Structure 1
Amino acid sequence: MLSIVIPTLNEFKTGYLSKTLDAYIGVEGIEIICVDGGSQDDTISIIKQSNAKLITTDIGSRAGRLNAGIKLAKFDMVLLHHPRSLVDVEGIKALTNHTPDIHWGAFTHQFDIQHPLLNFTSWYSNRMRGDCRGVYYLDHCLFAQKQLLLDVGLLPEIDIFEDTEICLKLNSKAKPVRLPYISRTSAVRFQTNGIYRQALKNQYMKWCYYFRGSDKNMNALYEKGIDLNTKYKK
């Protein structure tokens, strides 16, 4: 049994939310909870036309929306589903039948377009940062036992790198498992900003994080011109 929590905010433009909700129709043993942070496009309509549960909130951070969904989850395993990723249906089915020794983990990352730098990014994310250090980003679609998430205090309600922080917390309790099923993620940031320019921005963000920069300032720069996870006032 599996609870899937999707934090949404103006998701219509990428088309991933519709793909995700359509793909999981008919999968037994799951519930889908969409926690929306105030979408102004057709996101709400898409959710209402599906079998997902809709929670509307004014919570600005993606982490806060995920936490709201976790608290409402009725099953013991919770999938923190990136709004612009799509997990292989067989992976969803495998997770509904998970064994008790799976405490937390992630799916295998892959971008939805092919490029040598993006392929390397996915490899590094899966093998090096993920398997070696136990840190997976949300676009891997993280999963964890609900009680374990509650035990570590849920995600810190920061605007960026909340996925890194929750992985560090979970690592202190149990070893993660990376399942071989693909979490195929939109490369919209790379397509919009340019592949190499976005890659450089990502590295800059990491340095800012390591030197404990302001999460709001970091995310405002990360979201500039695209506004995918958080909408900042101009």
Structure 2
Amino acid sequence: MLTIIIPTLNESKSGYLNKLLQAYKPSANLEVLCVDGGSSDNTLNLIQEAGVGLIETDFSSRAARLNVGIEAAKHQMILLNHPRSIIEGAGIQALMASNKDLSWGAFTHKFDNSHPLLSFTSWYSNFVRGDRRGIYYLDHCIFAQKTLLLDIGLLPDIEIFEDTELCLKLSKKAKGIRLPFISETSAIRFETTGIYFQAFKNQYLKWQYYFNRSDKKMNTLYEKGLELNTEYKKGSRK
């Protein structure tokens, strides 16, 4: 049995949410739960029309919304599904079939754009940062046992790199397993800001993270011009 948690916030701009909701059909063994952070587009309508679970919050950070979903989840195995990533059906079935044997892990990342730099980014993310260092980003779609997530204190309530911090905490308990099934992720961020510019920005932010810079300032830079994960209100960028 499996609970899929999707943190949502104005998802219409990417077009992925509807694909997700059509692909993941709730059943007795599969719970699909969207935790929304105050969407002002038609995100809530899409969720309600799909007939999946919905929790409305005023949390702007993705981590806080994921934590709400984890605490509300019915099933022991939990999949933290990036709102712009979709897992192939065989991957969902494999996770459900072997969830008693897995502590935590993630799926194999792939962008929906075949640009060479993006292909290299996925390769590095899967085989180097993931397999060797045990760090997966949320667009890999991280899964874990609910008891394990509660034991480590859930995700830290920070605005960026919460997935890195989560994996570091989980790695202290057990080794993460990367399943061979694809988590296809939207390249909207790269396509909108420019592939090379976004790649440079990502590397710059990683250095900022290693030097313990403010998560709010880092995320403001990351979301500038797109605001895909966090919605900033006028005058709130500090």
TM-score (norm 1): 0.98
- The one-letter code sitting in structure 2 at the alignment partner of 1:188 is I
Matched, 1:227 2:227: yes
**Partners of 2:33 and 2:75 in 1: how far apart?**
12
Q: CA deviation at 1:11?
A: 0.3
**Partners of 2:27 and 2:87 in 1: how far apart?**
13
Between Structure 1 and Structure 2, how many residues are aligned?
234
- Aligned position for 2:43: 43
Secondary structure of the equivalent of 2:98?
coil
Deviations along 1:66-109, whole A, 9 cap, x unmatched? 00000000101000000000000110111111142310000000
- Aligned position for 1:169: 169
**Partners of 2:68 and 2:166 in 1: how far apart?**
15
Q: Please, which moves more after superposition, 88-97 or 203-212?
A: 88-97
Is the 8 Å Cα contact of residues 24 and 32 (structure 2) preserved in structure 1? Answer: no
Is the 8 Å Cα contact of residues 33 and 53 (structure 2) preserved in structure 1? Answer: yes
- Structure 1: 4+ residue segments shifted above 3 A: none
- Aligned position for 1:18: 18
**Partners of 1:177 and 1:220 in 2: how far apart?**
32
- The one-letter code sitting in structure 2 at the alignment partner of 1:70 is I
**Partners of 1:217 and 1:65 in 2: how far apart?**
20
**Partners of 2:216 and 2:71 in 1: how far apart?**
24
**Partners of 1:51 and 1:14 in 2: how far apart?**
21
- Aligned position for 2:5: 5
- Aligned position for 2:53: 53
Is the 8 Å Cα contact of residues 26 and 32 (structure 2) preserved in structure 1? Answer: no
- The one-letter code sitting in structure 2 at the alignment partner of 1:147 is T
Q: CA deviation at 1:163?
A: 0.1
Secondary structure of the equivalent of 2:159?
coil
TM-score (norm 2): 0.96
Matched, 1:32 2:25: no
Matched, 1:146 2:133: no
**Partners of 1:188 and 1:219 in 2: how far apart?**
17
Q: CA deviation at 1:26?
A: 6.4
- Aligned position for 2:118: 118
Give aligned-pair identity as a percent: 64
Structure 1 residue runs without a partner (length 5+): none
Is the 8 Å Cα contact of residues 32 and 51 (structure 1) preserved in structure 2? Answer: no
Secondary structure of the equivalent of 1:49?
helix
- Aligned position for 1:107: 107
- Aligned position for 2:159: 159
- Aligned position for 1:181: 181
**Partners of 1:73 and 1:22 in 2: how far apart?**
20
**Partners of 2:56 and 2:27 in 1: how far apart?**
24
- The one-letter code sitting in structure 1 at the alignment partner of 2:107 is F
**Partners of 2:165 and 2:26 in 1: how far apart?**
33
Q: Please, which moves more after superposition, 159-168 or 23-32?
A: 23-32
**Partners of 2:51 and 2:96 in 1: how far apart?**
17
**Partners of 2:99 and 2:11 in 1: how far apart?**
33
Q: Please, which moves more after superposition, 182-191 or 24-33?
A: 24-33
- The one-letter code sitting in structure 2 at the alignment partner of 1:106 is A
- Aligned position for 1:68: 68
Q: CA deviation at 1:25?
A: 2.3
